[in-house]
Amino acid sequence: MKKILVVEDEQNLREGIVTAFGDRGWQVSAAPDGSEAVKKLEEEVFDVLVTDFKMPERSGMDVLRRCKQLNESTVVLMMTA
């Protein structure tokens, strides 16, 4: 089963993305901000990272950089509104 981490500070959007991937058989984890996302990335390996670009505390670019330091093979999708 593929593992995905969804990082989005807007709760409704985060929940919608989690539901969409979960309904398609993905094992989904979620984080409301970049700091929590980095903690999760340091604890486990994800196949895909979907992250918002602009968030409080740590930006999506910060999360992307840390993700690639930890696991270069993780596919990253960056979103912005």
| Tens-place pLDDT, residues 58-80 | 999 999 999 999 999 999 999 98
Q: What is the number of domains present in the chain? A: 1
Average pLDDT for residues 21-46, to the nearest whole number?
Answer: 98
Burial of 49 (0-12, 13-18, 19+ CB in 10 A): buried
What's the Rg (C-alpha) of the chain? 11
Which two tokens mark 12? 């409704």
Cα separation, 55 vs 70, in Å, equals 21
Q: What is the pTM of this model?
A: 0.94
Are residues 50 and 68 in contact, defined by beta-carbon separation less than 8 angstroms?
no
Print the domain residue range for 31.
3-79
Q: For residue 40, what is the domain's CATH number?
A: 3.40.50.2300
Average pLDDT, the chain: 96
